[in-house]
Amino acid sequence: MRIVLYSHDSVGLGHVRRNLALAHALNNQLPGLTGRPVTGILITGTALAPAFELPEGWDWVLLPGVGKGSEGYLPRNLTLTMQDLVPLRAKLLKATLAGFRPDLVIVDRHATGVHGELETALRRARAGSARVVLGLREVLDSPATAATEWAKVGGPRVVKALFDAIWVYGDPAVHDPVAAGEIPFALRKLIRYTGYLAEGRPSAGGTSCMPGRYCLTTVGGGSDGYALARIAVATPIPDGLGHLVVAGPQMPAEQLSDLRDRGRPGVKVVSTVDDIVFHIRHAAAVVSMGGYNTVCEIMSSSVPALIVPRTQSRAEQRIRAASLSAAGYLEQHEIGTLTPAVLADWLASRLGTTVDRRRAVLDGLVRVPQLAAELLQPKADSNQVGPDKVSANHFRADESVAAGRSKGGASRVAV
């Protein structure tokens, strides 16, 4: 069985990390669900991707990178215009899908890629035998911004022509993007909620890079995490406790050096760690920005967490932090009013405590392979997929909305 996972990767590592977690889950579980071995390609736009461990039988295809400027997307490294770069990336995408002939294509977040680069390749793949899925994090952006982005790809009509299904990687009882107006209501019949991609993320375990008891601050990829990290390294910490600050591989070298110069006694600043999941689960408390992957890794633990969401570019992290805080799974604080003294008080008050997050649906990495197995069934056999293969707890968006909302989120409806 051949699978392609695409992420455009303009800022940060969130898209490729999410697809990598899916690749491991599909590789581990689909053979047992379908009786077919799996091989796959991860298409990415970040040169940092090959530093991550791939599942057996998978490989990378790296596209020439794009970044984001004040006027939108721009080439990250090549001295080309976007008018030259987009056709180049589109040709590479068409060649990859045509040559690999995937059974399943999963597109992360951006339905047609950068400036529509993926559309022709998807149409050709779906005209053949491929099933095509749009994978969305549970929060997109403010409804107005999301509506503009849907319009740019052609709206529901184009999305329905390109995709067999939309998988939303979240729990509608915490945040329902259809009810919130972030996903067009016209697409509701394509949607299945998988739950958060939290439990089952690859963790090598082993030895912490921070000896003894510690708290952890992590700022994701690090390209916009300096403000939070600077507060963290200046925060007084209780006696006997260390503070590990993970600045991220994309933090500029001068900022990383400055953090190390500013660090108080007991603070260790590193660019990356080998296993962030392991370090989160063994921390006494976690301070983090509000990116999807880091939040999922926190949600898979019982460690108390303070989320300090990004305030620029998108409203996504603030919406996520607010919804999870309202559900009681973590706490939030705005960067504009966070000080070392405030953070020190929070850390001191949370040491020795735990948070029960078991009410949230956290097993999306089990449900996604089940949905994939169902989607890949021959059409003649589609009614023969039994409960032993596909969970009954996939929530359809139209039924979730119709059922109304209870306190803390949408009612869950089994399909």
Give residue limits of the domains in the chain. 2-201+362-410, 214-350
Query: Can you tell me the mean pLDDT for 211-215?
Result: 93
Q: What is the pTM of this model?
A: 0.91
Query: Can you tell me the mean pLDDT for 363-383?
Result: 85
pLDDT at 178 over 60: yes
pLDDT band at 328 (very low <50, low <70, confident <90, very high): very high
Q: Which two tokens stand for residue 264?
A: 């108080």
State in words which class domain 214-350 has. alpha beta
Query: Can you tell me the mean pLDDT for 366-387?
Result: 75
pLDDT band at 311 (very low <50, low <70, confident <90, very high): confident
Residue corresponding to tokens 């991707």: 49
Nearest-angstrom CA–CA distance, 401 and 415: 14
Q: Which fold has domain 2-201+362-410?
A: Rossmann fold (3.40.50)
Nearest-angstrom CA–CA distance, 27 and 7: 18
CB proximity list for 70: less than 8 A, separation 6 or greater: none
CA 364 to chain centre: 12
Q: Does residue 295 contact residue 307 with C-beta atoms inside 8 Å?
A: yes
pLDDT band at 211 (very low <50, low <70, confident <90, very high): confident
Q: Do domains 2-201+362-410 and 214-350 have the same CATH topology?
A: yes
pLDDT of residue 386: 39
pLDDT at 382 over 50: no
Beta strands at 66-69 and 191-193: parallel, antiparallel or unpaired: unpaired
Helices of type H across 109-235: 119-127, 143-152, 155-162, 226-233
Span 233-276, pLDDT tens digits: 999 999 999 999 999 999 999 999 999 999 999 999 999 998 99
DSSP string, 345-414: HHHHHHTT-----TTS--BHHHHHHHHHHHHTS-GGGGGG--TTTS-S-PEEHHHHHHT-EETTEEPP--
CB proximity list for 131: less than 8 A, separation 6 or greater: 103, 104, 105, 164, 165, 375, 376
Nearest-angstrom CA–CA distance, 288 and 306: 6
Q: What SS3 class is residue 201?
A: coil
pLDDT band at 395 (very low <50, low <70, confident <90, very high): low
Span 27-61, pLDDT tens digits: 999 999 999 999 999 999 999 999 999 999 999 99
Q: Does residue 167 contact residue 192 with C-beta atoms inside 8 Å?
A: yes
Radius of gyration of the chain (CA): 21
Average pLDDT score, the chain: 91
Q: Does residue 45 contact residue 7 with C-beta atoms inside 8 Å?
A: yes
Helices of type H across 155-251: 155-162, 226-233
Q: Which amino acid is at 224?
A: D
CB proximity list for 71: less than 8 A, separation 6 or greater: none
